[in-house]
Structures are given as structure tokens and as C-alpha cells.
Structure 1
């Protein structure tokens, strides 16, 4: 049974899935994505990090960090096993918690080459938007947004 749990990216139990995500990104795209999630603030309640457990195995993760009081950014989404509804379960959990944290919208960036992720977000009712923030001038990035 899949269970989504609130965790901390600095927790030793989360380390292996974060490293697996980083290695996966590096092998596929030449960058591990770690530098885009370095400002984790454990004491800020608007930050949220979750892990997905299947039996006793950690099989996924995801996070939200605040960009503003009403806008959260989805980060570090990863499912170890594709097409098992792990990613959808994580994203649904994050969206529910985002509403509880009074976010009005979620935004995210993924690599344009990551066709699986782009399809996943479009199928999850996110819409493609102009690139924002540090992604504004990056041709290799694609951004999405969803009103909650």
C-alpha cells in the first residue's frame, strides 16, 4: 500500500530517494537539480516535503516551497517506479496540503526534454505558462501553473 508522509529533505530516511532523483536527472539531462532546492527552511510552515512509501520502501518524493504568500513552487517530484500512480499520489497530496497552507496557485519548472513530466503535468490539469523567475530566459525549461 502506498502512503504519502510529510518528511524533511534533511532526514536520513529521505536521503536515498533524493540521491536517486538527483542521479536520475544527471544521467538523463546532465544536471542533478540539487541547486534548485537548497533553501529548504525547516521552520517555515509554507515549505513542505513529502516521501512516498510502498510497504517499507521509499519510492518517491515531492516538495513545495513558497514563492510568495499565495504561490507555491512544486519541486523535487520523483517516482522510482513509473506508471504506478506514485507521482500522481504525491502531487495530489501536495495540492491538498497547498490548499491547507492557503496557496492559491502552484507553479513548477521542468526540462523541455522531459516529455514524460510535461505530459504528466498537462494530464494533472496544469497549464503551460511563460517561464518565470530564473527560468525566464532558459530555452531548456518549460513552466506550468495550476490554480487551486
Structure 2
């Protein structure tokens, strides 16, 4: 892990944290016409299987990511964002979330992104995620592409 990047759990409702979430939403909306906020409304702050993290460099929040349960042994990666590319921020966030997922007892992680989001699809494939049939509300959504990674 890059020693300059600090990954820590955070409350997504915290004012400082909300800024990076708003930046992510604005970024998605500008690129794809949808901010993804509606996929994050059922967050359970006091449920230990729901993990939200931020990445900090020099006390500045520069990224975020989350996992939540969708089945007993399957977690879903949500709200992945890095303010800067090429600094391994996303990779550090994802590695942290994968370790947390294992301690929670998840055996697999799944996620959805847009087919048009080449940067994200390439990133997840580099991290060992494989394309999987669309799941849940992404079934019959041709703009969505889903990925899966075994943690065992």
C-alpha cells in the first residue's frame, strides 16, 4: 500500500465525506447522465456488514468506496471513486474493502458499472474481477456491466 494514502472507514453522512460523494455523483452525471445516488439510499450506518471508506492524502479526502451485503456471503462494491488517476487510490481502496469483506465473511464481491465506463471496466479487470451476468436490478439493463470476484 502506498504509505502516502490513508484508507479509513467513515460515515457517508459526515459533512466532509459528503463532499467526495457529491463530487463522484457530479462526475458520473457529467459522463453518463446519471449520478448513481439512487443506488446508495438504503445505507445502514449501524450494520457492520456495510462498510464505507475514504482515502486521504495529507488530510485531504481524495477517494471513497463501499461494500454492502446483497446476499449472506456476497457483498456489493459501491461508490468507488478516486479524485486523481495514476496514484493507485482506487487500488488501495479496493484492496482495503476486499480485506474488510473477508473479515465480514463475504466469499464474493460483485459490482456494476456502465458499459461506457472504459476506465472502470479496465480497472476492475486488472484487479481480478471477471464479467458476470447482470444481477438484481441490473438484469435487462444493456447499459450496465457487472463483475464478480471470489475472495476465497
- In the alignment, what sits opposite 2:85? 82
The count of residues paired between Structure 1 and Structure 2 equals: 148
Give the distance between the partners of 1:44 and 1:5, measured in 2 at CA.
Answer: 17
Pairs within 5 Å for 1:68-79 = 68-79=71-82
1:121 matched to 2:124? The reply is: yes
Name 1:25's counterpart in structure 2: 28
Structure 1 Cα separation of the partners of residues 109 and 16 of structure 2: 26
For residue 106 of structure 1, what is the aligned residue in structure 2?
109
1:6-17 matches, within 5 Å, as 6-17=9-20
1:2-30 deviations in Å (ceiling 9; x for gaps): 10010011111201100000000000000
Aligned partner of residue 25 in structure 1, secondary structure? helix
Q: CA RMSD in A?
A: 0.5
Q: Distance in 2 between matches of 1:59 and 1:45?
A: 24
Mapped partners of 2:66, 2:140: distance in 1 = 24
Q: Which runs of 5+ in 2 are unaligned?
A: none
What is the TM-score when the length of structure 2 is the normalising length? 0.96
- The two structures have a TM-score, normalised by structure 1, of 0.99
Unpaired runs of 5+ in structure 1?
A: none
